[in-house]
Amino acid sequence: MFCFIDNKPEVIDDGSGSGGFGCESGPCMNGALCNDTEDGYTCTCMPGYTGEVCETDIDECESNPCENGATCNDGENSYSCTCVAGYTGYNCDSDIDECASNPCQNGATCNNELNSYSCTCVSGYTGNDCETGRV
């Protein structure tokens, strides 16, 4: 709306959100950048947000990024996975190698299994880790 002050037109915000003053009320949320337009305003959302005024947190877990039965935890523009026992990695996509610590003794072969391992003992040894020699 225009008013005349000292015979000069002045733009006055009538609260309709038009005329280039839409951002004055701070309508954009979650750190979004507000841009005045002829028809009101537009919001440029920060990563991880969507909606007309950037009011909605995007659920990064919606695409099911976590693997092998892991739980997805939605964050702000991120997610994390809580792995079930036996798995590791950002998306829980890697089997933990329980043989990496060389648990088998006396020349035994270690067999990596899910959340476990087994040892194949050489002749003359027994026990879970082939730790006992037979007499």
Query: For 4-56, what is each residue's pLDDT tens digit?
Result: 334 433 333 334 444 567 899 999 999 999 999 998 999 999 999 999 999 99
pLDDT for position 65: 98
pTM of the model: 0.64
Token code pair at residue 49: 């947000």
Q: Is residue 88 scored above 50 in pLDDT? A: yes
**Domain made up of 59-96: CATH architecture:** Ribbon (2.10)
CATH superfamily of 11-57: Laminin (2.10.25.10)
Q: Assign 24 to helix, strand or coil.
A: helix
Distance CA 69, CA 102 (A): 27
All CATH 2.10.25.10 domain ranges in the chain, comma separated: 11-57, 59-96, 98-133
CATH number belonging to domain 98-133: 2.10.25.10
pLDDT for position 121: 96
DSSP 18: -
